[in-house]
Structure 1
Amino acid sequence: MMVRILLLLGSLLVTVCAEPIATLDRTLWPDSLASHPGFNAASRLEILNFASELMGSELVAPDEWPQHLGLPQVDMLAIDRYRAQSWLRLLAAFQAASRECRSCPQLKTVAELRQLVLSPPAVPARLQHWLAESRLFHARYLQEQLTLAAQFPHPSSEIATLTSDEFTGYELMDGEFLLSFDAGPTMAGGSTWRTTRVLSKAGQNAVFFLQGEPLAQRLSSSPEALAQELGENCVASNGMSEALYPELENWRDALRQSRRLLHAIPEVTQLSWFRPPQGQRTAEMSGQIFERIVLWNIDSQDMSPGLSTQQVADRVTTLMLLWRKGIIRWHDNGPKAAAALPDLFLALQTSPVRWVDCRTFADH
């Protein structure tokens, strides 16, 4: 038991100074994800690997966390809240991934999940390379999450909610994923056009959180062309610019202006949703101008210059296996989403994944 605990701690401590953006080469997993059994088997092991790192993090003394996360100070209560909530989510995810498996343990409590983490199922030799890289991925990913949690709500982020009516993606059903895109639209014929063409070809759609300044430029030339470009997708607000809304004295005026611009797009499904840039907002903004603040729980990191298109796709796939539900955040002002999505759709087309039609939220 003590050896296992030391291994848990060692994985976390070794990676805190490594590349912070987590990604995992999915070719190391030799089996197909394009079936319910295949997806669920991969999901169970990714869940256990993240749970292992989460358990290891509990062994770090409170006064050591600032150094581990590279922060001047940390909020241990916020870290503890994140860990407690994550254990519940991991339990629900593991239960869903095991429901159709007769030989899998049918866990009922977090205590049972923790015991399974300490005595995990044997991994065959052909998966040993994947296992090592998966553990590294989850250690890095946990560091990303704990860095956000340790500072919340100063600054606020997608790591937790400020009010009960914020939408994060964990509210969806098992297997449901909603695609979302920030920071558009681009100019005619740009990344937004390429992304919407990819979605249309696959018979899918997404929520495009549009920023007011580039949106105004598109509307000034041809609102009809923009509407045709967006097609069967939905639009919502990403504010007027990348400005951080907690720092804006006139944030209500900015949101009203953003709403007026959205209303100027003809014949496109509009959602009364606001996604604050970088997820930074205050509780006061909830229900103001737009009905809901909508965040995300799967960040593609597609704007990170150090990640290739394949690494971005692999990161998204791994996090889909881990959480089994959620809102995926992409950007449509960059090329990686349009390049990554076709293979992602193909790889998961007969898996338990169900892509949510954004238009089902039109009245919410």
Structure 2
Amino acid sequence: MRIAFLFATWLLSFGALAAPGEVATLDRSTWPEQLDSPTLFDVASRAEILMFARVLLASESLDEPSLAQRLGLRTINLEAVNNLRQRLWQRLLSNYSFAQRSCDQDASFCFLVEDMDTLRQQAAKFQLSDDSYYIKWAEPSRLFHARYLDEQLRKAALFPQSSSEVDRFGDHERNGATMNDRLFLLTFDSAANATPDNTAWVAEYLRKAKMSGTFFVLGKDIQARLNERSVASLQATYSMQCIGVQGWEFRSHSHWLDWQDSVRRSVERVKGKLPENYMPLFRPPDGQRRGDAESFFRAQGLQVALWDIDAQDGAGKLQPDQSAQRVLTLMLLWRHGVINFNIKQDGVKTAMPWLITQTAQSGIGWEDCQDGFR
């Protein structure tokens, strides 16, 4: 009865959280341990998985009108929402199975989870005592995951009328879901603004760290650089890195009449001038693309390259430290995936190095850009 009462009380608080659209971030200093070993990465991963599972389970108690109100929408695509929930549960179960392999080395947050039923049971009763070593983390983490879940549910509720990275339209689209455990790929989006452009700085940082990333570029930006400098200079900037395209301009490719020409022109420019770096990948700006475009992309030999870990580092959204801590929390939750940074925000020069430093001893790996979407 006490557990049921506490859970019911918590459900009420769940419905009174932040307004729709508030971006989730978590102060990682609330977590009392450094991620300086694979085992401690797993401990933190188990904790984030259980907390998100708890929030996800709670959201299922909301009926359709209540969920729509919570997400700030008049109507929702409930089928898409339920499909997302199912995928989230499957990934949580898989991730927890990986994360509990080190339970013989550190039993923190280790519970009997053998299947989906036992995962849901553990999520329903997951809570920390007031004297827990991790108590300062508990409430901030719950708020983070509730807000993050809202972000995902809202995108699903609007899909496919408003397309995003929350779901795929077919096998020609890739995200980080099938990557191996503990492997992450760094990707960098362009944006509508011309400056600042931190490509040269980020590419050089990655080369010095013996790492690589995939830079999704705009055709017009590449043309502007070619107007100012030589092809050799541009090739030197992207040396040892990969390049995909985002179209000629940073604008929605779901309603733009010239979207096909935008993709073709960009591919022609990048493939012609930077053939050693070019990857046959299209990253839709803001994830917006048409659901009936599979035949076009296949004819062009392109894959649509989505992501599943978003830094939310666009202008005015999060500060660099908040963005970095958001990404790290999602790395612990999803345990593998494609990370999306904005190359035209100066915060990337702070957030990305911090992230790499924080995970240097955690047992994760950074996927080579040549293999990331295969």
- Sort the TM-score into its range (normalised by shorter chain): over 0.9
**TM-score by structure 1 length?**
0.94
Question: Matches of 2:17 and 2:292 in 1, distance apart?
Answer: 37
TM-score normalised over the length of structure 2: 0.91
Report the counterpart of residue 294 of structure 1 in structure 2.
Answer: 305
Which residue is equivalent to 1:74?
76
**Structure 2 unmatched ranges of 5 or more:** none
For 1:361 and 1:86, how far apart are their aligned partners in 2?
21
Q: Residue 178 in 1 paired to residue 185 in 2?
A: yes
Amino acid at match of 1:324: R
Deviates more, 1:139-148 or 1:343-352: 343-352
Structure 1 CA distance, aligned partners of 2:41 and 2:27? 16
| Within-5 A mapping of 1:112-127 | 112-120=118-126, 122=128, 124-127=131-134
Of residues 263, 277, 298 in structure 2, which corresponds to 1:255? Answer: 263
Cα pair distance change 1:10/1:188, threshold 3 Å: closer
Residues 7 and 168 of structure 1: is their aligned pair in 2 closer, same or farther, counting only changes over 3 Å?
farther
Deviation (angstroms), 1:252: 1.9
CA deviations on 1:282-305 (whole Å, 9 max, x unpaired) are 233232424210100000011141
* Conserved? CA contact 1:11–1:136, under 8 Å: no
Which residue matches 2:159?
152
Give the deviation of 1:18 after TM superposition.
Answer: 6.9
Assess if the C-alpha contact under 8 Å between 2:21 and 2:151 holds in 1: no
Equivalence for 1:14: 16
Secondary structure of the corresponding residue to residue 245 of structure 1? coil
Q: Is the 8 A contact 2:190 2:342 kept in 1?
A: yes
Q: Name the counterpart of 2:233.
A: 225
Q: Where does residue 56 of structure 1 map in the other structure? A: 58
Q: Is the 8 A contact 1:24 1:318 kept in 2?
A: yes
Calculate percent identity across the aligned residue pairs: 33
1:178, CA displacement in angstroms? 0.4
Alpha-carbon displacement from aligned partner over 1:306-338 (angstroms, at most 9, x marks no partner):
421110100000000000010000111111112
Give the Cα–Cα distance (whole angstroms) in 1 for the partners of residues 251 and 192 of structure 2: 16
Contact 1:211 1:258 in 2 (8 A): yes
Query: What is the alpha-carbon distance in structure 2 between the residues aligned to residue 63 and residue 267 of structure 1?
Result: 52
Secondary structure of the 2:362 match is: coil
Partner SS, residue 235 of structure 2: helix
> Using the alignment, how far apart are the partners of 1:185 and 1:224 within structure 2?
25
Secondary structure at the aligned position of 1:359 is classed as coil
Once residues 119 and 108 of structure 1 are traced to their aligned partners in structure 2, the CA distance between those partners, rounded to angstroms, is 16
Aligned to 1:279: 287
Q: Secondary structure of 2:207's partner? A: helix
Q: Match for 2:68: what amino acid? A: P
Aligned to 2:114: 108
Partner of 2:176: 169
Contact 2:218/2:249 (<8 A) preserved: yes
CA–CA distance in 2 between the matches of 1:135 and 1:21?
14
Aligned residue number for residue 348 of structure 2:
337
CA contact (8 A) 2:249 2:262 kept: no
1:358 match: secondary structure: coil
What SS does the corresponding residue of 1:208 show, helix, strand or coil? Answer: strand
Structure 1 unaligned segments of length 5 or more: list them: none
For residues 187 and 308 of structure 1, do their structure 2 counterparts lie closer, same or farther at Cα, with a shift above 3 Å needed? closer
Residue 317, structure 1, aligned to residue 325, structure 2: no
- SS of the residue aligned with 1:209? strand
Q: Is the 8 A contact 2:51 2:126 kept in 1?
A: no
Offset of residue 190 of structure 1? 4.1
* 2:212 matches 1:212: no
Instruction: Pick which of 225-234 and 190-199 moved more.
Output: 190-199
Letter matched to residue 275 of structure 1:
R
Secondary structure (helix, strand or coil) at the match of 2:176 reads coil
Q: How big is the shift at 1:4?
A: 3.7
Match of residue 25, structure 1, among 17, 24, 27 = 27
1: CA distance, partners of 2:314 / 2:249: 16
Residue 347 of structure 1 aligns to which amino acid in structure 2? Q
Name the CA shift for 1:16/1:254 in 2 (closer, same or farther; >3 Å): same
Cross-structure match for 2:278: 270
Change in Cα spacing, 1:157 to 1:298, as seen in structure 2 (3 Å) is same
Q: Distance in 2 between matches of 1:233 and 1:17?
A: 39
Query: Partners in 2 of 1:340 and 1:53 — Cα distance?
Result: 27
Number of equivalences: 363
Q: CA separation in 2, counterparts of 1:235 and 1:185?
A: 18
Q: Is the 8 A contact 1:207 1:235 kept in 2?
A: yes
